Amino acid sequence: MTTVAFLSLFFGLISGPYPVELAVEGPVAAVELQLDGQPAGRIQGPPWTSTLDFGQSLQPHQIVARALDAQGHEISRAEEWANLPHPLTKVDIVLERDGDAPPKAARVAWKNLVGETVRSVALTFDGEPVKLDRQLRGELPKHDLKSLHVLAAQVTFKSYRSVRRDLAYGGEYGSEVSTELTGVPVYLKTGNLPSAEQLGGWLSDGGKPLSVNAVEEGPAQLFVVLGVHGEELVTKASKFRNLTSKLLSKGDELLFVSAAALRVASGTERTDLFTVTQPMNGPVDDLFRAMRKSGLPEPTPGSLRFADAVASAGLMAMHENRRRAVLLVLSGEPEDMSVYDPGSVRRFLAALRVPLFVWYLGTPRPGSEAAAWKAEEISQSWHVASSSERIHKDLEAQRIVMVDGRHLPQSVTLAPAATGLELVGATP
């Protein structure tokens, strides 16, 4: 059986040239790379590595690797996604096979972005353990392709955190089986949202109607990026002390994101992580009291990257398919060392369909960083109350429609049959 799998971790914020590494097994003559459905390169043989150019704008992307035979026919494919949520660890199962016979062996391939130490790697075939060698390769028992077979790989780290990957083939499928869902956030403008069955055909991708699996109305998450030093926050927010303003409802979660990045590496890949606190459970009616208790480390001078942090917070907000929003709080004229500018990040969150709110503790000066963010003035108590209510109403109006398959968020549109709905993030 011919297989192709991505070994690269498309984690974090990606633009411009980016290295791509593949694991390829079987009689493959070449691998064609596609980016968002368009040809983006061709690899003629080992080592199966290349470089993709994602352009300078920050946008979600789909990457496809098509394994081709000598006649140019596709014999296997794999897909990955850039600038969308990713786990810190990637695990794949690569099958080894000669011709059309059942695979004789399988290899576990994994990467971890933060350098965790592995405790164990295990592989099972139809529930039975497979002995792995030092290259994490194991011989499979004799079997045929008339029945469905399931391989399960589990990588366990010293922290006892585990990551699992399942692969099924044979039987009626004949190849890998993977079921994924995409959460599409919408605003409910009027009335009640119909059931999942009735929503079929209300959303489409490229003109093709999407099947709706469920509708999520659970607790919301608000990610707050603090682009302000703690001492300044205490001083400027003191005027709002004991101010009660509706922000989050009971069960909602408040999370704070650091504006200072931590650089991590895995092999040739480099990325930045922005610390996020454990969630504070709502209701929340005094955001500034919660800010002072956030527990985030005080950033050092010159380390603030709040534009990049906002973009990363947008990815975090998508991770659990919850009702969500991001709030950036600015003050003074802090120097932003970000890779991306406010306009690029606003467009990125609009593409992710994550609402963005920006507060400025004071009156934004024309031409300032706060003005570039289109920040709301927060200088009076009534500003806090009205702006908090705006966030609260936005979260309350959201619903997450779960559609079958994996889709780029910006490619999902409302079909003519949809009534009473608006897609979140329709305008940046």
The structural domains of the chain, with segments of one domain joined by +, span 1-86, 221-400
Residue 176 — pLDDT band, cuts 50, 70, 90? very low
pLDDT at position 178 is 44
pLDDT at position 267 is 53
Which CATH architecture group holds 221-400?
3-Layer(aba) Sandwich (3.40)
User: How many Å apart are CA 80 and CA 6, to the nearest integer?
Assistant: 7
User: How many Å apart are CA 165 and CA 310, to the nearest integer?
Assistant: 30
Above 80 in pLDDT, residue 166?
A: no
Contact 252, 284 (CB under 8 A): yes
pTM attached to this predicted model = 0.80
Beta-sheet strand order (sheet of 137-139)? 89-96, 105-112, 137-139
- In terms of Cβ atoms closer than 10 Å to its own Cβ (0-12, 13-18, 19+), residue 133 is exposed
Residue 99 — pLDDT band, cuts 50, 70, 90? low
Report for 12-26, 143-157, 216-230: range of highest mean pLDDT:
12-26
Please state the φ and ψ torsions of residue 240, each to the nearest 5 degrees. -100, 10
Above 70 in pLDDT, residue 268?
A: no
pLDDT at position 131 is 96
Amino acid at 228: V
Above 60 in pLDDT, residue 177?
A: no
Pick the CATH number of 1-86 from 2.60.40.10, 2.60.120.280, 3.30.2320.50, 3.40.50.360: 2.60.40.10
pLDDT at position 243 is 67
Residue 310 — pLDDT band, cuts 50, 70, 90? very high
Of 193, 224, 198, whose CA–CA distance to 328 is shortest?
Answer: 224
**Cβ atoms < 10 Å from Cβ of 255:** 18
User: How many Å apart are CA 369 and CA 371, to the nearest integer?
Assistant: 5
Mean confidence (pLDDT) of the chain:
85
Report for 107-111, 162-166, 214-218: range of highest mean pLDDT:
107-111
Rounded mean pLDDT, 29-57: 95
Contact 157, 119 (CB under 8 A): yes
Contact 67, 75 (CB under 8 A): yes
Token representation of residue 153: 């790989």
pLDDT at position 150 is 79
Above 80 in pLDDT, residue 88?
A: no
Rounded mean pLDDT, 4-20: 90
